[in-house]
A and B are shown apart, each in its own frame.
Chain A
Amino acid sequence: MLAAPIPPPLTLGDRRRPGWRAWALITPMVAWLLLFVIVPTAILFVYSFCERDEVGGVIFHFTWENYQRVLDPVYLLIFARSVGYAGLTTIICVIVGYPVAYYIARATEERRNRLLLLVMVPFWTSFLIRTYAWITILKQEGLLNGLLQSMHVTTGPLSLLYTPTAVVIGLVYAYLPFMILPIYGSAEKLDNALIEAAYDLGAGPLRAFSAVIVPLTMPGIAAGTLLVFVPAIGMFAITDLMGGAKVPMIGNVIQNQFLQARDWPFGAALGVVFMLMFAVTYGILQSRLARPKS
């Protein structure tokens, strides 16, 4: 989970063909990918071109209808909103997470390990329980409103829960560690002499940051962006619980199609479009941000 750097492009030309031992070692991995990634994706892809019957079954009869429905402004709006929320979440995570990650990376080793532990402490509790905790904090008669009123900052309770703000708070809270850890991984490897060299050559703190520190920690920022943006855009639990289903994101819609609406082909079509979006995002990140150093 730590600093998953974007893998460099494979250069197959100069590699030896793997022997049987290598195949034996990677077989479980290949089988896993095949069974749980490739096959389901293929099924999803096929379903997305099928029709649905009266009781929610799938009829194998080719149609473009599902994709036409995806282009309905209602769903495009939800897609756009999902990108917006996930994007905002990512930006907030970078802004909040970068200083934290940088500070941890520059701390003494003993302190560093303690701080890293603190970043990971939330993972010890179930994600759902933590989200419910946020509900008790944000609800009308919740902790935050109680505090604000007892301090006479506000007179009446504020509607915090079941708003887009609550959704973004929930998303930032859930995914911040996934931004902090990869940036920490990059910043920890940063040679202090490079920062001193920047100062020595006349760069003030801001120039040293923008011209040396940010470019050298960019792999961490890119990895963190992927780790936050991708799951955030598909999140449905937080939007359900903290958004009160009033501001659905694409994850909620897809979940609905499979569970409540029982329209698997349409859900599949949404899923396929969704995956294409990821692929495009990844491609952009790969080419723009993570300029490989070799």
Chain B
Amino acid sequence: MSAPANSMIEIRGVTKRFGSFTAVNDISLSVREGEFITLLGPSGCGKTTLLRLLAGFETPDAGSILLAGEDVSHLPPYRRSVNQVFQSYALFPHLTVRENVGFGLRMQQVPAAAAAERIREALATVSLEPMADRFPHQLSGGQRQRVALARAIVCRPKVLLLDEPLSALDAKLRHAMQLELKHLQRQLGLTFVFVTHDQEEALTMSDRIAIINHGRIEQLGDASEIYHKPRTPFAADFIGQANLLSVTVLSRHATTARVRLDDGLELTVSAAELPAASQTALISIRPEKIHISKRPIAADNVFSARIQEEIFQGATDQLWLVTDQGTRLHALVANESAMNEAYHEGERVYCSLHLDDLVIVQSA
């Protein structure tokens, strides 16, 4: 039953099935106190079920969940020191903003004077004091979102669960709220478990990201680790964009190895995590890490390609390249200065791939 001293949430081998469908498959995860962790994955991946298991709306079929060292696996939601911000906000339509925020305190039978002060504080935190006597239907989407947040934090939970709370907001408001949520989390020192399918949201806010797919954690790490060192093809593809190349290992040396693409192009990659010679592997390279030049260059893994398609996007240029051997690559070039070379469709360019940027995401 012992958990690491600063571990707020301990998920141990939790499985949840709905009929023959396994929504959460033997997931283990430890979350530190005050950490902002994001469960990221496509719809139906099990991230929401995991959140509902933490909230107590579902009970695990196997495994256990510890909250601040206490096994809460079978505690109903109203006995857990966990509060949730719902995707639809779930504000009580028959209650005012003040009554909504005070609902949890009323249930805990907090004395009226203390409750009034805490409600005022919570509303001040989300800058909604002037709206206290309005009904939810009199508020904008962003304001409702803040009420939902205030209603959850006023109870001073050990953990705050957020179920895609920003998905109903327009893009501009969403970006503002991302930063605001991050600041709020730091200010309160609360442990946040944030569920989203939006990779940009995850990268912006999280201390750590758990990429979930088919009910399992594909990869767990901080934003930079997840982005630069994806460990599975799914992780590479789901976060940002990636060119996934299937290769065969030709020979291994001390720290490097030679591999050959299916189309015949040979590359030098870092040998770590690579299987033995003649085995196959999958390699990922981010579009912005393909260096492009109009003249031949001296670098790792230089090859020539033709620009098949070019899309100007302001700060960047999207290029679709076809190597001489016929492999399609997606590249991203920064438009740093008007002095830079412009690329046009049909042109021949030289590409180079630094061997550290070629990440092995799967080995046979």
Contacts and interface: CB of A to CB of B under 8 A. Distances in A.
Contact of B104 (A191, A193, A196, A201): A201
Interface string A24-58: 00000000000000000000000000000000000
A191 B88 contact: yes
Interface centre among B55, B82, B103 (most CB of A within 10 A): B103
A203 B78 contact: yes
Nearest to B94: A215
B93 A293 contact: yes
B151 interface: yes
Interface in A190-227: 191, 193-194, 196-204, 207, 211-212, 215-216
Contacts of A204: 76, 78
Contacts of B90: 191, 193-194, 196-197
Nearest to A197: B90
B303 interface: no
Contacts, number: 67
Given A196-B57, A196-B77, A196-B86, A202 B94 contact: no
Contacts of A216: 92-94
Interface residues of B, number: 27
Nearest to A192: B90
A229 to B, nearest CB: 24
A291 B93 CA distance: 12
Interface in A277-294: 291, 293-294
Nearest to A204: B78
B92 A212 contact: yes
Nearest to B76: A199
Contacts of B145: none
A198 B151 CA distance: 11
B107 interface: yes
Contacts of A203: 78, 103, 107
Nearest to A203: B107
B108 interface: yes
B212 interface: no
A80 B47 CA distance: 60
Contacts of A198: 92, 103
Nearest to A194: B90
B104 A202 contact: yes
B65 interface: no
Contacts of A191: 88, 90
Contact of B103 (A193, A211, A293): A211
B218 to A, nearest CB: 28
Given A212-B92, A216-B94, A193 B86 contact: yes
A204 B108 CA distance: 11
Contacts of A199: 56-57, 76-78
Nearest to A212: B92
B94 A201 contact: no
Dominant secondary structure at the A interface:
helix
Interface string B104-127: 101110000000000000000000
B189 to A, nearest CB: 21
B237 to A, nearest CB: 32
B85 to A, nearest CB: 10
Contact of B92 (A194, A207, A291, A294): A194
A188 to B, nearest CB: 15
Interface centre among A198, A200, A202 (most CB of B within 10 A): A200
Interface centre among B56, B86, B93, B107 (most CB of A within 10 A): B107
Interface string A104-124: 000000000000000000000
A191 B137 CA distance: 15
B155 interface: yes
Interface string A165-193: 00000000000000000000000000101
B83 interface: yes
B76 to A, nearest CB: 7
Interface string A60-85: 00000000000000000000000000
Contacts of A202: 78, 104, 107-108, 155
A207 B107 contact: yes
B92 A200 contact: no
B137 A200 contact: no
B170 to A, nearest CB: 22
Interface centre among A191, A196, A202, A211 (most CB of B within 10 A): A202
Contacts of B323: none
Contacts of B86: 193, 196-197
Interface centre among B56, B76, B104, B108 (most CB of A within 10 A): B104
B92 A197 contact: yes
A137 B92 CA distance: 46
Interface string A228-266: 000000000000000000000000000000000000000
A194 B234 CA distance: 35
B213 interface: no
A211 B152 CA distance: 17
Contacts of A212: 92
Given A197-B90, A201-B107, A202-B108, 19 more contacts: A193-B86, A193-B90, A196-B77, A196-B84, A196-B86, A196-B90, A197-B91, A199-B56, A199-B76, A200-B77, A200-B84, A201-B78, A201-B103, A203-B103, A207-B107, A212-B92, A216-B92, A216-B93, A293-B93
27 contacts: A193-B88, A194-B90, A196-B55, A196-B57, A196-B90, A197-B84, A197-B90, A199-B56, A199-B76, A199-B77, A200-B56, A200-B83, A200-B84, A200-B152, A201-B107, A202-B104, A202-B107, A202-B108, A203-B103, A203-B107, A207-B107, A211-B107, A212-B92, A215-B94, A216-B92, A216-B93, A293-B135
Closest 4 CB pairs of A and B: A201-B104, A202-B107, A193-B90, A197-B90
